[in-house]
Amino acid sequence: MLLRNVSDSLRDKDMPRVERREAQAHEPAAIAKLLKEMEDSRHWPLIALAVAGGMRRGELAALRWVDVDIPERVITVRGSYAEIPGRLWLKDPKGHEVRRIDLPDLALEALRRQRKIQATEKLKSGGFYQDDGYVFTPAAGGHYNPNSIYKAFARSAKSAGLELTKLHAARHSYASCLIASGADVATVSKLLGHSEITTTLRTYAHAVEGAGRDAVRGIDEQLARVAATGQSAQLQSRTATEWQPRPQNGNFSR
């Protein structure tokens, strides 16, 4: 029989530490330069959607036109290609949940341009284009594998003179921009396809902390405006008297 809990003898310093690794995002200026330098490349739509949609490379490879709704400004992520040496298979998105991504103007422009690129390449193929309905394809059609998506991004960055070798960092840039723009963490988590909000908080803790510092500056700004104008802020709240119980048909209710 154990007379004591052996874990009681462990101190905090004896417990293993889990290192928190912050997401490494590309700087917005570097992303802007990459898009500008690749303006005439057939890979521009792919890079633009990676930046403006925050999708994983396997999801980009598996994206089909039937899951793109330009008028509604939304993409539905239904699957992702996974790859190991000698094998490629289509699986559920990470987290096993289909998700919808609202699209900014940059993403819409990327998709419209990709349609034109595919139409041109179909004409040039002389009837040999393999049209399987994928959004991003090699020049002869078919579909990319995730590693090809990664290499296309890395080559484009290198040709632009930028050291942006990691496509996944574009996804981190997407998330960081959302948080900096004031999006709540729950919304960011949903758009990224995280199964748990704690994953988003852990991965983007630095961005959330930065957003918090920006948010509290609003207190100083509001108080400064009040002091300058001599007017008090209008707070929209019910007074205590509004919550006094009132008799209705002999019963009290609020």
Structure tokens at 99: 């998700």
Structure tokens at 32: 């802007």
pLDDT of residue 254: 45
Residues 6+ apart with CB under 8 A from 220: none
Alpha-carbon span 140 to 125, nearest angstrom: 7
Alpha-carbon span 120 to 118, nearest angstrom: 5
Amino acid at 111: L
Structure tokens at 193: 């396809």
pLDDT of residue 63: 96
**pTM for this prediction:** 0.68
The secondary element (H helix, E strand) that includes residue 76 is strand 74-77
Alpha-carbon span 220 to 38, nearest angstrom: 42
Structure tokens at 1: 């029989």
pLDDT of residue 223: 64
Whose tokens are 């103007």? That residue is 105
Alpha-carbon span 251 to 236, nearest angstrom: 29
Query: What CATH fold (topology level) applies to the domain 28-207?
Result: hpI Integrase; Chain A (1.10.443)
Under 8 Å between Cβ of 47 and 61: no
* Dihedral angle sign, alpha carbons of residues 103, 161, 139, 167: negative
Averaged pLDDT, groups of 10, the chain, 254 residues long: 48 46 68 87 92 89 96 94 84 81 93 96 92 95 90 82 74 79 79 76 65 57 68 48 50 47
Amino acid at 157: A
Task: Indicate the Cα dihedral angle 68, 192, 106, 44, nearest 10°.
Answer: -80
Q: Where are the alpha helices (DSSP H) in 89-204?
A: 105-124, 146-159, 168-180, 185-192, 197-203
